[in-house]
Amino acid sequence: MHLGYSSLPDALATLGGFDLVYPQVVVDRVETVLTYLDSVDTAIDSAVSNAQVKKVGSLEFEYGALISNKRNEASRQLQELGNLLGASIQFNKYKAGASQSYVVDY
């Protein structure tokens, strides 16, 4: 899911001629960043689901560090997305204590 839409083309279409306003290299990078953010969301959801398993045999799992690293990288990618679009990110759901909504101010 991208920006609340089931597919990336649907999400980009709502930006009103996104591919006409920005150079193709920017459009491609925005698609890459949005796809990456989707994968981070999936990885975080998976880690949270698996966090109950702390140890299997001699293997110990550090889900807290994994989740923290994923959130930090997602925050960086979200900032890049804002820079690419010339938008100010008003809310970052990947920061600790954040609720699950955010606003992008153009």
- The pLDDT tens digits along the chain (106 residues) read 445 545 555 555 555 566 677 888 988 898 899 889 989 988 888 888 877 777 778 877 777 888 889 999 999 999 998 898 888 888 888 887 655 444 455 4
The one-letter amino acid code at 92 reads N
Contact 79, 63 (CB under 8 A): no
C-beta neighbour count of 93 within 10 angstroms: 15
Tell me the residue range of the domain where 34 lies: 25-85+97-105
Q: Could you tell me if residue 17 is inside a domain?
A: no
pLDDT of residue 101: 46
Q: Could you tell me if residue 14 is inside a domain?
A: no
Q: Could you tell me if residue 11 is inside a domain?
A: no
Q: Could you tell me if residue 90 is inside a domain?
A: no
Q: Could you tell me if residue 39 is inside a domain?
A: yes
Q: Could you tell me if residue 57 is inside a domain?
A: yes
pLDDT of residue 100: 47
pLDDT of residue 15: 58
5: Cα separation from own chain's centroid? 14
